A = this chain, B = another copy of it.
Amino acid sequence: MKAPNIAIIGATGAVGRVFLDIITERGFPTSSIRLCASERSWGKTLSVANKTITVEEATPQLFHEMDIVFIAAGSEISSILAPVAVEQVAFVIDKSSAFRMDPDVPLVVPEVNSSDLSEHKGIVASPNCSTAPLVMVIKPLNDIVAITRVITDTYQSVSGAGSLAMKELLDQSENITSKRPINAIEFPHQIAFNIIPHIEGFLENGFTNEEMKMVEESRKILHLPDLSITATCVRVPVLIGHSEAVHIEFTEAISPGLIREILAAAPGIQVRDDPNANVYPMPIDAADKDEILAGRIRQDPANPKQISMWLSCDNLRKGAALNAIQIAEEMLRRNIPLKHRRI
């Protein structure tokens, strides 16, 4: 099979830039690469796989010439462009939330449910940046001892909100340390030296979209539709790297040692758990790494069925661009046809 023609939509954004890095690093096979973004970036050039490529408009003709289209430009753009790409018989890997819960769209973390890929009808979705590390940990553990309940609270970096949000955190930090006034545009409140328990919009039930995404996407990816899972999603003044405090109750007691063994053997997870040497996952160490980091694994002294742990992960890599590229790699590796009947 000839290497695919690929396009990246949203190539100039925070996730888009990481797409280019990862394609270059991994030597992802391509016959051609096209890069698209919004109008203000047309004509700019970006570097990928030792080539300099000019950013252009995403048109039906462009999609027609592509085998794989990665879309990382937000759910509104995905809702508009993904059907156009599918119409032009390009295979879409979508980073946004637009299609994740669509029963016709596999939602895939390759380490967890790559077998769902063959069910695609032209679109495969990549999960929320906080969902990916959580399901990667739950899956191998639940395979050994069944999980009855998951409670997680997140510590999510500003890069999850895009590159302007990263600039806003740096600008605010600089202004506050220099005792100058600050502007808050990307976030509803000051984010420097603050914590905002609010990511995405609020739903009727008081949860945010982000929180319910973690719940619903995890259930779908894990094929555990009744999994008891609750989350609080929180923005913290960190540039790159999401962290999660995770509390898991199992049907029977399981030792931290066994958990460590299972996670160390699981794909894409690096166990960092030597607290007496001050070794545990942190966002500054997770940034720029493909693996998610797991540590602080411990058993509730009063309830041996309950395990707590701590995860950190590069939200732009495994939480976004890397997972999407791994979906493409898995499609090619398994020879799953990219062509599909129209949806």
A250 at the interface (CB under 8 A from B): no
Interface size of A by CB at 8 A reads 60
Q: Name A192's closest neighbour in chain B (CB-CB).
A: B173
Asked if B228 and A297 make an inter-chain contact with CB atoms under 8 angstroms apart, the answer reads: no
Asked if A206 and B297 make an inter-chain contact with CB atoms under 8 angstroms apart, the answer reads: yes
Distance (Å) between the CB of A195 and the closest chain B CB?
A: 5
* Bound: A236/B195 CA distance, A: 9
Asked if A282 and B195 make an inter-chain contact with CB atoms under 8 angstroms apart, the answer reads: yes
Binding stretch for chain B, among A46-54, A69-77, A114-122, A298-306: A298-306
List of B residues within 8 angstroms of A245 by Cβ: 153, 197, 232, 234
A184-221 interface code vs B (CB 8 A; 1 in, 0 out): 00001110111111100010011110000000000000
Q: Which 5 A-B pairs have the closest CB atoms?
A: A206-B298, A153-B245, A153-B153, A232-B245, A188-B278
* Bound: A223/B237 CA distance, A: 37
Interface of A is mostly: mixed
Q: Name A206's closest neighbour in chain B (CB-CB).
A: B298
Asked if A195 and B155 make an inter-chain contact with CB atoms under 8 angstroms apart, the answer reads: yes
A-B contact pairs, 19 of them (CB 8 A): A153-B232, A173-B192, A173-B193, A174-B177, A177-B177, A189-B278, A193-B284, A195-B283, A197-B280, A205-B299, A206-B256, A206-B296, A206-B299, A228-B302, A230-B300, A230-B306, A230-B308, A232-B296, A234-B243
